[in-house]
Amino acid sequence: MASPAKTPDPKLRLLLVDQGDSRLPGLQAQLGAAGNVELQQVDDGMLLREMLLRQTWDALLCAHNVPGLSLQTVQRQLTDLDLDVPLLILADSGDEKPVIRALKNGARDCLTDRQLERLLPALEREVNEARLRADHRAALEMLKGSENRFRALAANLPGMAFQLARGKDGQLRFLYVSEGGHKLLGLKPHELLGSANSFGRLLDVIDPEDRPALEAALAESAAALTVFNWEGRIRPRNQQKAKWVNLRSSPLPQEDGSLHWHGIATDITRSKETETALRKSREQLAELSSYLEAAKEEERERIARDIHDELGSILVAAKIETALLAGKLPDAAEEENTLRKKALSIEALVDQAMGTASRVARELRPGILKEFGLQAAIECQAEDFAQRTGITCRFQCEALVDGGGELDEATSLALFRIVQ
C-alpha cells in the first residue's frame, strides 16, 4: 500500500470531505494550534479522486453524511488507489451504523462535533502511526528486494551457496543451501535442511576415501578460524560418474558459541580432467624427451666407438709408418735432413690428430664415466678444460647421494652433460 511521500516541508496536509462550511470554523479553531496546516475541502467523488492523485495527504477528515459521497465510497477510493491515509470520521449524533461499518473497514477514529478537542491528538497519533507503517513497508520491501537479489545471485552461481552451522555440541547442519545443490549433489534443498544431522546427507554422497580429509579440513578451520577449503570426489544420487567438487567458505563465530560457515561448493570436474590430461601430456613429453636423449646417447656412443676403433686405428698405423719412414732417412745430407724434418712434422701432426680424436671420443661418450663414476669423469673434464683454456679449474665433490652411494647411470650421464 502506498503512503504519503516524505518531504522536508513540515506542513500538515488535511483533506476535508464535507458539504458546506458549517464545520470549518470549529476545525480551524482546533487546527490553529498545530501551526502550519493546509486544509482543503471536497464534496464530490470525482473531485476527491483528483485531489488524492494530485498530491499526498497526511489525513482525511470525512463527514459521515455527505450526499452522494458515503464513507464506503471514500474508503473504496483509498483502497483502489492503494493509499494508506488515515481516515477520521466526523459524525453527528444521528445514524451510527455507517460509522460503525466504516470503523470496521479501516477508519482510524470517529469524532463528534463536541469532541473536536481530541482532533489534534488523534491526528498526531494517526499520522505518526501511518509513517511508522510506511517505514515498516519500506523496510519489508528492501528486505524482500535484498532477498530476491540474493536468490537470483545464488541461483546463477556455478554451484551451490550454503550456510553451515556447528552447534556448541559439535553437531553440523545446514542452515541454507541454494537450488544449485540439486544439480551439483543430486539432493534437493529440503533434503539437506530437513534434519538436525543434515550434514550427514552430504557425507553420504562424498567418496569414502575423501571423507576424512573433509572432516579434518573442517576441524582445522574451526580451530584456527581459517578459510575452509577442500577438494574431493562426490557420487551424486542416481549418477554413476563421480564429480570433483571444491568447498570453500569462511568461518564466523556466533555470540551463542556456535560457528557458521558461509561459502560455495563448485563443480571442478572439468578442471580436474584438464589437470589430469595436462599431467599425462607432461609425462608423455618427459618420456619422449628421455627417449630422444637415449637415442642421442646411443648415436654418440656409436660415433665415439667408430672414432676410437676405426679412426684411432688408422691414426696409430699412420704414426707407425711415419716413425719408420723417419728412422730410415739418414741425417748427413742437407736435403735428406729436410726430408727427415718433414717426416717428423707429419708424425707430430698425427699425434695431434690422435689426441683430438681421443678427446672428441671421450666427450661424446666418456668411458671414464662408466668405469670410474661421475666424480672421476667430472675431474677429467675439468683437467681438459684447464689444458685447453689455460684457466685454472678445481673440482670438489661431496657425497652425491645420502649414505655415499652411487647415482644411477641416467642421472650420472645427465649431470655430466650439464657440466660439459
Kindly calculate the radius of gyration of the chain based on its CA atoms and give it in whole angstroms.
50
Report the pLDDT value the prediction gives residue 6, as an integer from 0 to 100.
45
Q: For 206-227, how does the pLDDT look when each residue is reduced to its tens digit (9 = 90+)?
A: 999 999 999 999 999 999 999 9
Q: How far apart are CA 359 and CA 383, in angstroms?
A: 12
Cβ atoms of 83 and 92 within 8 Å: the answer is: no
Cβ atoms of 307 and 359 within 8 Å: the answer is: no
Residues 45 and 138 in one domain: yes
Q: For 310-352, how does the pLDDT look when each residue is reduced to its tens digit (9 = 90+)?
A: 888 888 888 888 888 777 776 655 555 677 778 788 888 888 8
Domain end, chosen from 215, 240, 267, is at 267
Report the pLDDT value the prediction gives residue 5, as an integer from 0 to 100.
44
Q: For 39-95, how does the pLDDT look when each residue is reduced to its tens digit (9 = 90+)?
A: 888 888 888 898 889 888 888 888 877 888 888 888 888 889 988 888 888 887 655
- Residue 6 belongs to some domain of the structure: no
Residues 144 and 20 in one domain: yes
Domain end, chosen from 365, 384, 403, is at 365
Residues 210 and 228 in one domain: yes
Residue 228 scores a pLDDT above 90: yes
Residues 133 and 171 in one domain: no
Q: How far apart are CA 81 and CA 52, in angstroms?
A: 8
- Residue 170 belongs to some domain of the structure: yes
Burial pattern 70-95, b for ≥16 Cβ within 10 A else e, equals bbeebbebbeeeebbbbbbbbbeeee
- Of 31-35, 116-120, 257-261, the range with the lowest mean pLDDT is 31-35
- Of 3-12, 144-153, 247-256, 269-278, the range with the lowest mean pLDDT is 3-12
Residue span of the structural domain in which 208 resides: 158-267
Residue 399: which H helix or E strand, with range? none
Q: How far apart are CA 178 and CA 167, in angstroms?
A: 21
Domain count, the chain: 4
Q: Which three cell numbers stand for residue 204?
A: 553420504
Residues 183 and 223 in one domain: yes
Residues 125 and 18 in one domain: yes
Report the pLDDT value the prediction gives residue 44, as an integer from 0 to 100.
86
- Kindly report the average pLDDT of the chain as a whole number: 81
Domain end, chosen from 122, 149, 176, is at 149
Q: How far apart are CA 321 and CA 142, in angstroms?
A: 108
User: What's 133's DSSP letter?
Assistant: H
Residues 216 and 343 in one domain: no
Q: Tell me, what CATH number does 226's domain have? A: 3.30.450.20
Residues 293 and 331 in one domain: yes
Residues 120 and 142 in one domain: yes
User: What's 117's DSSP letter?
Assistant: G
Residues 294 and 342 in one domain: yes
Residues 245 and 312 in one domain: no
Annotate 158-208 with three-state secondary structure.
Answer: CEEEEEEEECCCCCEEEEEECCHHHHHHCCCHHHHHCCCCHHHHHHHHECH
Q: How far apart are CA 178 and CA 163, in angstroms?
A: 9
